[in-house]
Structure formats: C-alpha cells, structure tokens
A and B are shown apart, each in its own frame.
Chain A
C-alpha cells in the first residue's frame, strides 16, 4: 500500500504472542493513519469500563502516511490509549525519529495488549520481532536506558522508553525518545509501564514505496522550498516555541502561580532570546524538519543538558511555580524527562500543592518537610523525584491534580486547574474566550494543541462571546489534528505560514489517493465525534458538566498583571458552550446527534 508501512503489529504481552496483520484498507480510507488509527482502534478494541492500568487497555502506537518521507516535519508518532489520568481518551504525539523507523520496519501501528508477567522490551529489527528481558533496565532513568540500548543494539535503533514514573504508574507518566522528545500527556507512559514494557527498540531498513515517485519528489521539494523561503523561518529556528513567552507575558496569558494571574513579574529571565543566550547549544529537529524548534541546552549551574525547555514547560514549571530563572526551569525539565513524567501535568499539580501550602491547607507535616512556597526551586526538584517514585507526599500528587484535590478537599478542588482530569496547559484564560472554549472542549482534556486560538482572541477582541469565535475553534479542531493523522508536524504550516494546499499533491503522490483539505477536515470531524462518543461511553452521565473550565476562570479575576480585574462571566461560559454544541451538531448536553453521526459515517460504530 503506497506510503504506508503495510502492517499492524499486535503484541500480546500476557501470552507473549506476536502477530502481524495487513493494515486494513477501510481503516486507511476512513481514518487515514496516525491519530486516526489510534482513535478507531481504541473505540473498537478496548472494552467499555476497561481498567486503564489493567490488561484490557491497549496502547496504540501509529505512524502516518507522510512519516519517514521527504516531507517537512515527517516525524510524528501517535500514542493512543484509555487514559489512566482521565479515564477517557488519551492521544499524545511523539516527535523525533521514532515514527520514521517503524515505517522502515514495514509497520503502520504497534498494538500493545495484555500485561507481561515480567519486565520486557519490544525488540523490532525488520522482521525479527521479539520480547526481550528488561529486568536489568527496569528501575532506571530514561536517559541511561536509551543510551544503553543504543550502545548495545546499535546507533541506528530508535528507542522509546519509560522511566520510573511509568513503572510506578504515575498517572501522568510519559514516554521518552531521542533524549528529549516525549509522548507527554494523558499517562501513556503509565499504560506502557502497567504492561511491564520498559522500552521499544526499533530498527528498519526497508524502503517506503510511494505511488508516484516523480510527483512526490517534486511536491516534497516544493514544500521544503516554501519552508526555506519563509520569512518566519529564522526567528522560529532561533527560538522555537519560546518565541511566545514574552508575548504571553505581555497579553496576560502566561500562567503565574497556579493560574492566579497571566503575567509574571519575574518573566524576563524566562524569555526566548535570554534563554538562547544563556543555555542553548544546538537547534535539534525531528525527522525531516527544516525548522528545528527543539532547543538542546546546557545548564552550567547543574552541569547537565536537556532538550528544552519548551514554552509549555517554561509556563508550567517556571512562571506557574513562581520560578524565574531559566536554568532552574531547564533543570526541572530534565528531572521530569529523566524520571519519566509529563512536565505540563507536573507543573499543574505542583502549583496546586504550592497554593494549598500557601493557604495552609497543606502543612510541612503533610509535605514531608518540604516548604512548598511558590518559587522554591529545591522543593520543586525534590518533589519531581518523589512523584516519579510515588514516595511520601509525591504519591498524592502522582494521582494528578483532580484526584489529589478530591482527596484533600478543603476547597482545594476550586483551584485544581484542569478539565476532564487533565491539568490545563500553559495559557491563562481569565479573559480569552476562544482559548477558553478550546480548553473546555479539547478531546483529551485541557490541552492547547488542538485549537490554539489565543492570537485570534487578541485579533477580534478577547472578551467577545460570538459565534465566529466558536466557529474558528471548531475549524481548528477539525484541521490541526489532521497533521497527527498524516504523521507529520503541523508547525511548518502554523509557524512558517506555508500554504497548506502544498500538502495535497504530496499526499496524493505518496498514497495514490487524492484528498483535499476539505476531505481531510471531514475525517478530522469524524475522529472528533468518535472520541466524544468514547468519553460518553466510559463516563456515566458524561456531558456538559465535563466541559466546564476551572472556576478560577469565571470567579477569580487576577489581582496582578496585565489582566488584573478581568474575568469571563459564568453566563458567557455557558453561552460559549451552547454555541459550540449547536455548531458541532450536538445535543444541549454535548452529545453528538444521530444526524451528525450518520453524516460522518459513524452510526454503525456508535450502535
């Protein structure tokens, strides 16, 4: 099948049985690849009510038809499962070189099912595939594991592994790869750990066939030229996602002290150009990327290196914790990466704990002696390790902010900044209504990357509550995740402003199937509705209540910073949701109407 690896690898960890099936044509037709495969397989194969950390959950790892080819950013791999953190849909995108390698091994998806009786790693070398003993790797941090496997197996092997966080079932544990790329959110690392899979080591030397080599080469070169000619290329290469730190601070979107404000008085030592000057040594890219946003850094103070920090980590482990020094944030980033937990969720839950401490809801006795004041760098470092090990006070935080706040109570649930159980990522939404509805309705919980709408908010009036804003968010939600489906990065379109229609001839030449962006967005809409059904299936009474934002964003105007005194009215929160459901073709309780499901060809699946 042109463009595809061709096979789905099914690994039953309970029995040790490994099988390969040809990638089904209907799946390619209706769900295309990557995240689309993940969503479809999750709905179809993981039974209702499955324990996310038990044998019935599955981890679906999928590349897309553009992965591994001469296409800008052809390096994205989707990790999908039932989330142990939210109990709903988890999909996390891993960059680096992993997705390309699984294609060269002839695979489109890897399915991990069951639970292994002992720690293993999945070894894939073209058609030689086996589960190998990982007892000597178990318990070790991710950097050491990747290094050892690469030394032992060969530099050409691509490694994805979990750290102690994943082994210990930290609900927001992640999967690491290439010393700095992660499948970060939703606890995909905990699912891998629950199956006792320490790592996946893959090596492939097969070529990827395309339908029309000449057309593909031409379309690929045209895409690369468009990226290289873009005026936005140099600043993006220099700063990557840190390009927006100063802007977010300026417009009140930089989460500060558990989202109590949107600008941070210590912000200047977190800005992109300052960071580049202080710590960055290499611009590191994912597969096929002409605009490398990864910033590999050296922290002289700690004598360590890390890939990062990205904007999200700067927000969540920097300003959100009241930490102002980029070297300290970078070190906290490294600790999360090495121990194996998501930086965004870690920042969210630690900030919550700091506010509890500030308010006297938690004391030094509860925290095992840690003085959890905002800005306490040492306590933050200490806590990251404790969380990964589920040790002492870390065990509470390892549950994620929603469950932790439920356990502690005393009003702390009000400032657990999350939606659907996923800690909100780094945009403060006291007064940015498009971004607010984006977070409320994001399909994995409060994550920003489906509909990054905050510029739009600033362009058309941040507090306006109008159908156009909702329409914009819906369009972005149908469109942006399609890159995850194709197995390529969206940031060339997003950041360099290249014409997205340049991907159409490339996709057609690769797969032999013509799809316009209209076709692709329809698949996006289909996936969006399918995952909505998944949430409804897994959570009794799922509906409107689950789309509500943290009360902070309609009850507590910031006291400081650019958005001081600004807040969204609760009636507007509901108004936004009403407009959203209507435009989506959902009921007033937020469930897809039969007509919508029928239009998207989901009636049979949903039945």
Chain B
C-alpha cells in the first residue's frame, strides 16, 4: 500500500496540477518529494496525517502528507 503526497496550492503545478500523488512507503519525505520533482527547499511544512513531521520522517503505508509551500512570508 502506498503513501500519498498532497501538494497544497501552487506546489501542485510540479505534479501536473493533480491533487495527489502516490509514492512508495518506506522512503523519507525528502526522498519522496524530490522524486516527484518538487524542490524540497520551498516546502515550508509537511503535515502527515495532520501532524507536522520533519523532512527525514519515513513514510508509512497509508500516510497522507500535505505539503505547504512558503509562499511569501511576513
């Protein structure tokens, strides 16, 4: 069973505008995000099942990870 990456807002453009992409579980958020072609540095925060996780968190099966972009700051 895969894990799911949901880029929020403008980040969707990196995966062809789709709301969600399935990725293999067992890899880190950083690896999964990079694999999808999303620049890791502009992902401000990742909420995995609504809890913030660092980018070296290892994705479990069924995890849903929302990627929030740093848009424009303060």
On A, residues with C-beta under 8 Å from B are 230-232, 235, 239, 241, 243-244, 246-247, 250-251, 271-274, 310-312, 448-449, 452, 454-455, 458-459, 493-497
Query: Chain A contacts of B9 at CB under 8 A?
Result: 230-232, 497
Write out, one digit per residue, whether chain B residues 10-44 have a CB within 8 A of any chain A CB (1) or not (0): 10000000000000000000000000000101111
Please classify the interface of chain A as helix (H, G, I), strand (E, B), loop, or mixed, using the class held by over half of its residues.
helix
| Inter-chain contacts of A232 with B (CB < 8 A) | 8-9, 68-69, 71
Pair B45/A455 contact, Cβ less than 8 Å: no
Residues of B at under 8 Å CB distance from A?
8-10, 39, 41-45, 47, 51-52, 54-55, 66, 68-74
Residue contact B68 to A458, C-beta cutoff 8 Å: no
Beta-carbon contact of A235 and B68 below 8 Å: yes
Min Cβ gap A491→B in Å is: 8
Contact (A448, B71) CB under 8 Å given A455-B42, A459-B42: no
Contact A250-B55, Cβ < 8 Å, known A232-B68, A235-B45, A272-B45: yes
Top 7 nearest A-B pairs (CB, nearest first) are A494-B72, A452-B73, A273-B52, A458-B41, A247-B44, A455-B70, A231-B8
User: In the complex, A183→B51 CA distance in Å?
Assistant: 34
A449→B74 contact, CB < 8 A: yes
Max chain B Cβ within 10 angstroms of own Cβ: one of A231, A241, A250, A458: A231
Name which residue of chain B comes closest to A449, CB basis: B74
Residue numbers in B under 8 Å from A497 (CB-CB): 9-10, 71
Whether B70 contacts A247 by the Cβ 8 Å rule is: yes
Q: Among the listed B10, B39, B47, which residue makes an inter-chain contact with A235, where contact means beta carbons less than 8 Å apart?
A: B47
Which of chain A's residues has its CB closest to B8's CB? A231
* Residues of B with C-beta under 8 A to A274: 52
Cβ contact within 8 Å between B73 and A244: yes
> Inside 8 A of B42's CB, which chain A residues have their CB?
455, 458-459
Do residues A452 and B47 form an inter-chain contact, with CB atoms below 8 A? no
- In the complex the two chains form, is A246's CB within 8 Å of B39's CB? no
Partner of B74, one of A231, A246, A272, A448: A448
Q: For the complex formed, measure the closest distance between the CB of B50 and the CB atoms of chain A, giving whole angstroms.
A: 9
Q: How far is the CA of A230 from the CA of B72 in the complex (A)?
A: 15
Q: Which of A251, A311, A452 contacts B72 (CB 8 A)?
A: A452
B contact residues around A449 at 8 Å (CB): 74
Q: How far is the CB of A184 from chain B (nearest CB, A)?
A: 12
Q: Are B52 and A251 in contact (CB under 8 A)?
A: no
CA distance A459 to B69 in the complex (A): 12
Contact present for A455 and B72 (CB under 8 Å): yes
Q: Is the CB of A311 within 8 A of B10?
A: no
Q: Could you list 27 examples of A-B contacts with CB < 8 Å?
A: A230-B9, A232-B68, A235-B47, A241-B74, A243-B45, A244-B70, A244-B73, A246-B45, A250-B55, A251-B41, A271-B52, A273-B52, A311-B74, A449-B74, A454-B70, A454-B73, A455-B42, A455-B69, A455-B72, A458-B70, A459-B39, A459-B42, A493-B72, A494-B72, A496-B71, A497-B9, A497-B71
A230–B12 alpha-carbon span in the complex (Å): 13
Which of B39, B52, B54, B71 is within 8 Å of A495, CB to CB?
Answer: B71
In the assembled complex, the Cα of A454 lies from the Cα of B70 at a distance in Å of 9
Which residue of chain B has its CB nearest to the CB of A426?
B74
Please give the distance in Å from B49's CB to the nearest CB on chain A: 12
A524 to chain B, nearest CB (A): 16
Query: Among B44, B47, B73, which residue has its beta carbon within 8 angstroms of that of A494?
Result: B73
Bound-state Cα–Cα, A272 to B8, Å? 18
Contact B72 A243 (CB under 8 A): no
